[in-house]
Amino acid sequence: MNQWVCSICGSDTSNVDYDYLVNYDHISCHLGVWGGKDVPTHKDKLKTGCMKIKGWEKISGYTYKGYTIVNPMHNANETKYEATILNLNLPQKPKWELSVLTPQHKFIVGENTADGIFFISMWDDNKFSSSRKMNKQKMKSISNFRQTFEEMVDEILKIQLLSAATFSSHSITF
């Protein structure tokens, strides 16, 4: 199998400069997909791999240790799902972010992943983050998603705690 073939248009990319490629695909093909233009597809991969998260709005209100998911949204192509997480423990209610990329989105940005794998990322206002991969079957279960959400909250809280402990142990006294 020749790897130097654009998976979107099916053309040979072996003589294309690296600056114009995303992996082995033409940048122009990717931009055409992102821009909503009709691009002839090779094996129609872009349409068959599309997965939608049904009931994404149902996660609104999930609360764990005072961290509540609010305002779940998704893009028009249904490849990126986002939500805000409010910290109800503090009066100013600082925000965290939650993002889920479907297998379709990861294909578009040129990452080689197995079909059916969702990527979940969460980060706080200090850019401490946690990421998980979840297969399609587990992603279908709200309870599995909730468990993953709770694990990620715990991981970020642990990172914050360790960061605060490290900072305080390096403080200088006069």
In angstroms, how far is CA 47 from the centroid of its own chain?
Answer: 19
pLDDT tens-digit map of 50-103: 567 888 888 999 999 999 999 888 876 667 899 999 999 888 888 999 999 887
124 and 163: one domain?
A: yes
In total, how many domains does the chain have?
Answer: 2
Gap between the Cα atoms of 24 and 5, Å rounded: 6
Gap between the Cα atoms of 101 and 78, Å rounded: 9
16 and 68: one domain?
A: no
Cross-strand partners of 12: 5
pLDDT tens-digit map of 122-141: 999 888 999 999 888 888 88
114 domain residue, yes or no? yes
* Cβ atoms 103, 94 nearer than 8 A: no
Using 50, 70 and 90 to split pLDDT, how confident is the model at 47? very low
160 domain residue, yes or no? yes
174 domain residue, yes or no? no
Q: What is the pTM of this model?
A: 0.62
103 domain residue, yes or no? yes
Containing structural domain, residue 24: 1-48
pLDDT value of position 49:
47
